[in-house]
């Protein structure tokens, strides 16, 4: 899930690995890597950015 493109699955909507064929009901399972990747990004990266902002902007010594 951290990098779906390694397995040949898409990591962006309509990206290079996006499946548009008739199989898999139009790619409903194959293309789910996009949502998985987005969830991993949100869970890992956003909190790190929030912690960085907290330390650099709000917890400075006075």
Q: pLDDT tens digits, the chain, 62 residues: what are they?
A: 677 888 888 988 999 999 999 999 988 988 988 888 888 888 887 788 888 888 787 776 65
What is the pLDDT, as a whole number, of residue 18?
93
Q: How far apart are CA 7 and CA 39, in angstroms?
A: 18
Answering whether pTM is above 0.75, one says no
As given in the structure block, the two tokens for residue 56 are 């650099």
What is the pLDDT, as a whole number, of residue 2?
74
What is the pLDDT, as a whole number, of residue 62?
58
Q: How far apart are CA 52 and CA 31, in angstroms?
A: 32
What is the pLDDT, as a whole number, of residue 21?
92
């Amino acid at each position: 899930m951290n990098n779906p493109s390694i397995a040949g699955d898409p990591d962006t909507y309509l990206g290079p690995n996006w499946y548009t064929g008739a199989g898999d009901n139009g790619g409903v399972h194959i293309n789910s890597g996009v949502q998985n990747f987005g969830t991993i990004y949100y869970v890992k990266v956003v909190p790190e950015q929030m912690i960085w902002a907290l330390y650099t902007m709000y917890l400075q010594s006075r």
